[in-house]
Amino acid sequence: MKNEIKLLIFDIDGTLIPRGSRVIEPSALQAIKEQEARGIKTLIATGRTIYFMHEDIKKSLQSDFYVTVNGQCILDKNCRILNEHHIEEDTAKAIIQDCIDNKIAFSLKYDEAIMCYNRFDDYCRIYLKDEPNKAVVVDKSAERNYHIHHGAPMAIFMIGEESVIWSIIKKYDTISSARAYPGAVESYHRDYNKSTGIEEVLKLMNLSWDNCMAFGDADNDIEMLQKAAIGVAMGNASEALKKEADYITTEVTDDGIANAIHHFLD
């Protein structure tokens, strides 16, 4: 099987980079570079936007493609947008109003910035935490009209009481939603996710899922691990993801990426 693997697919947070850190685990980077020397390509598949991605990902790894915003935006190695998908306009407007009415802190994700529409300080305190690039979140809570002039967003990121958030989004059947972390949920077009974004890239590369080894730690990684020839869950992954994985490696801080790569590809 190892001779069939042509593409390594990585989530970022909790997979390539420990949560709270800013750099790729050294053992992971070394193992990936060894495979790149053999001609194997890399792909990043993340919920982050490209401008909110860790600089070390773009500087040290230099992925061949990026699937961002949970599959809503596809970019090449030079971070040029190849394709993007948006929530339907009527649905976006309705969710916006529901979040305002229910006092949920939330933002709209666009290709140039994250537009916060409600409870800006609360949103930034939780969403940004130790992130150095805080300018990517723009306070639009006064006018709340960016979507009117620029169209529907690629995703809506909500922070607050989860039971309230889920009661809002379950009303809409044209979106899919993923829990990012406790008290935070992201919604996007139901027809597009990490795995569909990866499939767009696979067509460009003339590859199939049989040529892929995918790594993840969260529930939004389930589909890509299911479809890849080898699906690897990190030791720190959710229990739901571990159940769908072909292999459970050690935690991200315990050489998880390197251990899995050596296990299957050496």
With cut-offs at 50, 70 and 90, classify the pLDDT of residue 134.
confident
Between 11-20, 194-203, 242-251, the lowest mean confidence (pLDDT) is in 11-20
pLDDT digits (tens, 9 = 90+) for 28-67: 999 999 999 999 999 999 999 999 999 999 999 999 999 9
pLDDT at 2: 67
Nearest partner of 44 among 26, 30, 32, judged by Cα:
32
pLDDT > 90? residue 180: no
Judged by average pLDDT, the poorest of 9-13, 126-130, 182-186 is 126-130
pTM of the predicted structure, to 2 decimals:
0.94
Domains of the chain: 2-84+192-265 (3.40.50.1000), 89-189 (3.30.1240.10)
Cα–Cα distances (Å) from 189 to 137, 223, 261, in that order, read 21, 15, 33
Q: What is the dihedral of CA 175, 79, 221, 87, to 10 degrees?
A: 0
Sort strands 184-189 and 175-181 into parallel, antiparallel or unpaired: antiparallel
pLDDT higher than 80, residue 1: no
DSSP assignment of 183-246: TEEEEEETT--HHHHHHHHHHHHT--GGGEEEEE-SGGGHHHHHHSSEEEE-TTS-HHHHHH-S
